[in-house]
Homo-oligomer: A and B are copies of this chain.
Amino acid sequence: MERKALHKDGPIFSRIVVGAWRWNIAVETVAQLIHKALDMGMTTFDHADIYGDHSNEEIFGRVLKQDPGLRQKMEIVSKCGIKFPSAKRPESWVKHYDTSKKHIVWSAENSLKMLGTDRLDLLLIHRPDPLLDPEAVAEAFSLLRQSGKVLHFGVSNFTPSQFEMLQSYLSFPLVTNQLEISITHHSPLFDGHVDVLMKHRVAPMAWSPLGGGSLMDQHLEQIFSKAPAYQATPAQLSLAWLLRHPASIFPVIGTTKPERVAESAKATDIHLDVQDWFEMLKAVQGREMP
């Protein structure tokens, strides 16, 4: 599988990223998923402090401990900044965001501890915090960067304005904005979210790249009518549709089944014809381009 840089100064990720969002499962299954992904060339794993109610990093970390050579074969992304009421976080009594210097540094260091590693390849601010103090974020990022604990920084679910505002306070680039993008949720391709990343020469990551349950049955046939011609499944065609975009979108797949990991990997071999790309968009939108 192709590997590609999110920004000219890195990091270099596998074109399809494996999400650990749902990996609040048995350590053995996680080990199996990791190995299947690496076998397929999918070397990048996407975490967040809160996934699995703050459990998934630790489960993943147990696999890394069992096989110390594994860490060198992969890149790890994590996120911080969301707090919600949980038995594991008794100090929170309402869902809120915390992008204070203290919390960002603590959260990144805690992710390292949970994952049993000495570095994150990429740390993202999980959600745009209305109380985000860009100078505090800049200080936290700089500390983590100088100590080598986090190699690159980015954001998730930020608007173009929020991205450019925070970027203006940093002396190094935000290397991505991880957004919800799929053929059914294609608005970020048209409303400026992806444009601003292309302007800054950084690549988007796409969460929920298969569009969740929004691909309604009655549309499927029309959207994916070309699947047989590509010898592809609808899921593979959905990923190929994203991969065809010039912004270099990195889809983050979320599955707990090794066979789905393998299926996704094959999407990178599909080169969608431009007219098929537009026909799929027309089928989803119910109208052709103006």
Name A residues whose Cβ lies closer than 8 Å to a Cβ of B.
Answer: 92-98, 127-128, 130-134, 136, 157, 159-162, 164-165, 168, 189-192, 195-196, 198-199, 244-246, 274-275, 277-279, 281-282, 288-290
Contacts and interface: CB of A to CB of B under 8 A. Distances in A.
A98 B288 CA distance: 15
B131 A245 contact: yes
A161 B95 contact: no
Contact of A199 (B93, B168, B282): B168
A224 to B, nearest CB: 15
B161 A196 contact: yes
Given A275-B92, A278-B96, A246 B195 contact: no
- Residue among A96, A133, A159, A196 facing the most chain B CB atoms (10 A cut-off): A96
Nearest to A128: B190
Q: Which 9 pairs, one residue from A and one from B, show the smallest C-beta to C-beta distance? A: A161-B192, A96-B278, A161-B195, A133-B246, A165-B195, A165-B199, A95-B288, A94-B279, A168-B199
A262 to B, nearest CB: 28
A277 B131 contact: yes
Contact of A96 (B93, B160, B275): B275
A92 B133 CA distance: 45
Given A131-B245, A245-B131, A97 B165 contact: no
